[in-house]
Amino acid sequence: MCVKQWRVENGEVCITEAYKVNSPIYLLTEPFDEEIANAIREWLEYFGVNNEMNIVITDGEEEYVALFPGAVMTLVYKTPKAAEAAYKFIKYLEDTGREYIVNQDAAAMLEITLGVRALPENLRERVEALRSRKEAGGRPRDVPETSVPAPKEEPQAGEIEEICLMLKDISADKLELVKKVIGIVLRNPELLADILKLA
Protein backbone atom coordinates (compact mmCIF):
# COMPACT_ATOMS: atom_id res chain seq x y z
CA MET A 1 0.00 0.00 0.00
CA CYS A 2 1.57 3.25 -1.12
CA VAL A 3 1.58 6.25 1.17
CA LYS A 4 2.52 8.32 -1.82
CA GLN A 5 2.85 7.41 -5.48
CA TRP A 6 3.95 9.21 -8.64
CA ARG A 7 5.38 8.62 -12.08
CA VAL A 8 8.95 9.27 -13.13
CA GLU A 9 10.72 9.08 -16.48
CA ASN A 10 11.21 5.30 -16.64
CA GLY A 11 8.57 3.97 -14.30
CA GLU A 12 6.77 4.82 -11.11
CA VAL A 13 7.70 5.47 -7.52
CA CYS A 14 5.82 4.29 -4.50
CA ILE A 15 6.67 5.19 -0.93
CA THR A 16 5.48 2.60 1.46
CA GLU A 17 5.73 1.50 5.04
CA ALA A 18 6.73 -2.07 5.89
CA TYR A 19 7.60 -3.24 2.39
CA LYS A 20 7.61 -7.00 2.10
CA VAL A 21 10.18 -8.46 -0.24
CA ASN A 22 8.40 -10.81 -2.61
CA SER A 23 11.19 -12.25 -4.64
CA PRO A 24 14.84 -12.95 -3.89
CA ILE A 25 16.85 -9.82 -3.36
CA TYR A 26 20.17 -8.54 -4.50
CA LEU A 27 21.74 -6.31 -1.88
CA LEU A 28 23.44 -3.43 -3.62
CA THR A 29 25.25 -2.05 -0.59
CA GLU A 30 27.30 -3.40 2.25
CA PRO A 31 25.68 -3.13 5.66
CA PHE A 32 27.68 -0.15 6.80
CA ASP A 33 26.77 3.08 8.42
CA GLU A 34 26.22 6.78 7.99
CA GLU A 35 28.04 6.82 4.68
CA ILE A 36 25.36 4.63 3.13
CA ALA A 37 22.75 6.82 4.69
CA ASN A 38 24.30 9.88 3.06
CA ALA A 39 24.63 8.17 -0.30
CA ILE A 40 21.05 6.99 -0.33
CA ARG A 41 19.78 10.33 0.91
CA GLU A 42 21.52 12.07 -1.97
CA TRP A 43 20.27 9.57 -4.51
CA LEU A 44 16.75 9.93 -3.24
CA GLU A 45 16.87 13.61 -4.13
CA TYR A 46 16.56 12.47 -7.74
CA PHE A 47 13.02 11.47 -6.84
CA GLY A 48 12.43 14.64 -4.87
CA VAL A 49 12.45 12.73 -1.60
CA ASN A 50 14.37 14.00 1.38
CA ASN A 51 13.47 11.51 4.05
CA GLU A 52 15.63 8.55 4.99
CA MET A 53 14.36 5.47 3.24
CA ASN A 54 15.29 2.04 2.07
CA ILE A 55 15.36 1.64 -1.69
CA VAL A 56 13.90 -1.19 -3.70
CA ILE A 57 14.38 -1.13 -7.44
CA THR A 58 12.20 -3.72 -9.11
CA ASP A 59 10.82 -4.82 -12.44
CA GLY A 60 8.31 -7.06 -10.72
CA GLU A 61 10.63 -10.05 -10.98
CA GLU A 62 13.95 -9.00 -9.50
CA GLU A 63 14.42 -6.77 -6.50
CA TYR A 64 17.58 -4.79 -5.98
CA VAL A 65 17.79 -3.40 -2.49
CA ALA A 66 19.79 -0.73 -0.68
CA LEU A 67 19.10 -0.59 3.00
CA PHE A 68 19.20 2.63 4.95
CA PRO A 69 20.13 1.77 8.54
CA GLY A 70 17.14 2.35 10.73
CA ALA A 71 14.77 3.52 8.00
CA VAL A 72 11.11 2.67 8.34
CA MET A 73 9.86 3.83 4.96
CA THR A 74 10.81 2.25 1.67
CA LEU A 75 10.95 3.86 -1.72
CA VAL A 76 9.95 1.32 -4.34
CA TYR A 77 11.11 2.29 -7.80
CA LYS A 78 9.23 0.17 -10.32
CA THR A 79 10.81 0.14 -13.72
CA PRO A 80 11.01 -2.41 -16.53
CA LYS A 81 14.75 -1.77 -16.60
CA ALA A 82 15.46 -2.55 -12.96
CA ALA A 83 18.91 -4.04 -13.58
CA GLU A 84 20.01 -0.94 -15.47
CA ALA A 85 18.63 1.34 -12.75
CA ALA A 86 20.37 -0.71 -10.06
CA TYR A 87 23.60 -0.52 -12.01
CA LYS A 88 23.19 3.24 -12.33
CA PHE A 89 22.76 3.46 -8.58
CA ILE A 90 25.98 1.50 -8.07
CA LYS A 91 27.80 3.70 -10.57
CA TYR A 92 26.49 6.72 -8.71
CA LEU A 93 28.01 5.40 -5.49
CA GLU A 94 31.32 4.69 -7.21
CA ASP A 95 31.42 8.03 -9.01
CA THR A 96 30.88 9.83 -5.71
CA GLY A 97 33.82 8.03 -4.10
CA ARG A 98 31.79 5.46 -2.21
CA GLU A 99 32.92 2.35 -4.01
CA TYR A 100 33.68 0.73 -0.67
CA ILE A 101 30.03 0.57 0.33
CA VAL A 102 29.04 -1.11 -2.92
CA ASN A 103 28.38 -4.83 -2.75
CA GLN A 104 30.97 -5.79 -5.32
CA ASP A 105 29.44 -9.21 -5.95
CA ALA A 106 26.15 -7.61 -6.95
CA ALA A 107 28.01 -5.04 -9.04
CA ALA A 108 29.94 -7.76 -10.90
CA MET A 109 26.79 -9.77 -11.47
CA LEU A 110 25.01 -6.74 -12.90
CA GLU A 111 27.99 -5.91 -15.10
CA ILE A 112 27.97 -9.44 -16.51
CA THR A 113 24.23 -9.63 -17.13
CA LEU A 114 24.17 -6.17 -18.68
CA GLY A 115 27.21 -6.95 -20.82
CA VAL A 116 29.29 -4.16 -19.29
CA ARG A 117 31.94 -6.64 -18.19
CA ALA A 118 32.94 -8.67 -21.23
CA LEU A 119 34.23 -12.17 -20.69
CA PRO A 120 37.28 -13.40 -22.60
CA GLU A 121 36.91 -15.57 -25.67
CA ASN A 122 38.25 -19.09 -26.08
CA LEU A 123 38.50 -19.46 -22.33
CA ARG A 124 37.85 -23.17 -22.35
CA GLU A 125 40.63 -23.85 -24.85
CA ARG A 126 43.08 -21.80 -22.84
CA VAL A 127 42.21 -23.56 -19.62
CA GLU A 128 42.43 -26.92 -21.33
CA ALA A 129 45.90 -26.01 -22.60
CA LEU A 130 46.94 -25.05 -19.09
CA ARG A 131 45.54 -28.27 -17.68
CA SER A 132 47.00 -30.58 -20.28
CA ARG A 133 50.42 -29.02 -19.85
CA LYS A 134 50.27 -29.90 -16.19
CA GLU A 135 49.13 -33.41 -16.99
CA ALA A 136 51.97 -33.80 -19.47
CA GLY A 137 54.31 -33.52 -16.52
CA GLY A 138 55.08 -29.83 -16.71
CA ARG A 139 55.82 -28.14 -13.42
CA PRO A 140 52.84 -26.02 -12.46
CA ARG A 141 54.58 -22.67 -12.64
CA ASP A 142 51.78 -20.24 -13.24
CA VAL A 143 51.73 -16.57 -14.02
CA PRO A 144 48.86 -14.91 -12.18
CA GLU A 145 46.45 -12.80 -14.21
CA THR A 146 46.60 -9.77 -11.97
CA SER A 147 50.23 -9.53 -11.12
CA VAL A 148 53.47 -11.12 -12.08
CA PRO A 149 56.47 -11.41 -9.78
CA ALA A 150 59.91 -10.67 -11.11
CA PRO A 151 61.48 -13.92 -12.28
CA LYS A 152 64.10 -15.31 -9.98
CA GLU A 153 65.08 -18.21 -12.20
CA GLU A 154 65.52 -18.92 -15.86
CA PRO A 155 62.15 -19.02 -17.65
CA GLN A 156 60.56 -22.39 -18.21
CA ALA A 157 58.94 -23.40 -21.48
CA GLY A 158 55.53 -23.28 -19.80
CA GLU A 159 55.97 -19.68 -18.75
CA ILE A 160 56.68 -18.58 -22.30
CA GLU A 161 53.55 -20.31 -23.60
CA GLU A 162 51.49 -18.74 -20.88
CA ILE A 163 52.75 -15.23 -21.61
CA CYS A 164 51.99 -15.72 -25.30
CA LEU A 165 48.48 -16.87 -24.45
CA MET A 166 47.96 -13.85 -22.24
CA LEU A 167 49.18 -11.43 -24.88
CA LYS A 168 46.54 -12.76 -27.27
CA ASP A 169 43.84 -11.70 -24.87
CA ILE A 170 44.58 -8.10 -24.04
CA SER A 171 41.76 -5.82 -23.05
CA ALA A 172 41.85 -2.35 -21.56
CA ASP A 173 41.48 -3.57 -18.01
CA LYS A 174 44.50 -5.84 -18.44
CA LEU A 175 46.79 -2.95 -19.32
CA GLU A 176 48.64 -2.97 -16.01
CA LEU A 177 49.18 -6.69 -16.27
CA VAL A 178 50.50 -6.37 -19.81
CA LYS A 179 52.90 -3.67 -18.67
CA LYS A 180 54.23 -5.98 -15.99
CA VAL A 181 54.60 -8.85 -18.42
CA ILE A 182 56.43 -6.66 -20.89
CA GLY A 183 58.63 -5.49 -18.02
CA ILE A 184 59.59 -9.08 -17.33
CA VAL A 185 60.22 -9.83 -20.97
CA LEU A 186 62.44 -6.80 -21.40
CA ARG A 187 64.49 -7.73 -18.37
CA ASN A 188 65.11 -11.15 -19.81
CA PRO A 189 66.69 -11.22 -23.29
CA GLU A 190 66.47 -15.01 -23.56
CA LEU A 191 62.77 -15.00 -22.81
CA LEU A 192 62.28 -12.25 -25.39
CA ALA A 193 64.15 -14.31 -27.99
CA ASP A 194 61.99 -17.36 -27.24
CA ILE A 195 58.81 -15.33 -27.55
CA LEU A 196 59.91 -13.85 -30.85
CA LYS A 197 60.59 -17.36 -32.10
CA LEU A 198 57.08 -18.46 -31.12
CA ALA A 199 55.52 -15.32 -32.64
- Residue from 148, 181, 185, 191 in contact with other proteins (CB under 8 A): 148
Q: How far is the CB of 87 from other proteins (least distance, A)?
A: 14
Please tell me whether residue 146 binds other proteins under the rule CB under 8 A: yes
**Bridging pattern class, strands 54-58 and 63-66:** antiparallel
Beta bridge partners of 7: 12
Please report whether residue 147 would count as binding other proteins according to CB under 8 A. Answer: yes
Q: How many residues lie near other proteins (CB under 8 A)?
A: 35
- Among residues 19, 26, 77, 89, which is the contact residue for other proteins, using CB under 8 A? 26
CB of 17 or CB of 142, closer to other proteins: 142
Per CB under 8 A, 112 contacts other proteins? yes
Count other C-beta atoms under 10 Å from residue 173's C-beta.
Answer: 9
Q: Could you give the CA distance from residue 58 to residue 10 in angstroms, rounded to a whole number?
A: 12
Binding flag, residue 50, other proteins (CB under 8 A): no
The residue within the footprint of other proteins, chosen from 23, 51, 96, 171 (CB under 8 A), is 23
- Classify burial at 68, counting beta carbons within 10 Å of its beta carbon; exposed 0-12, middle 13-18, buried 19 or more: buried
Told to check if 123 binds other proteins by CB under 8 A, we report yes
DSSP H helices in the chain: 34-44, 82-95, 104-113, 123-135, 157-167, 175-186, 189-198
- Which DSSP symbol is given to 59? S
Residues that bind other proteins (CB under 8 A): 23-24, 26, 30, 32, 97, 99-100, 104-106, 108-109, 112-113, 115, 119-120, 123-124, 127, 130-131, 134, 139-149
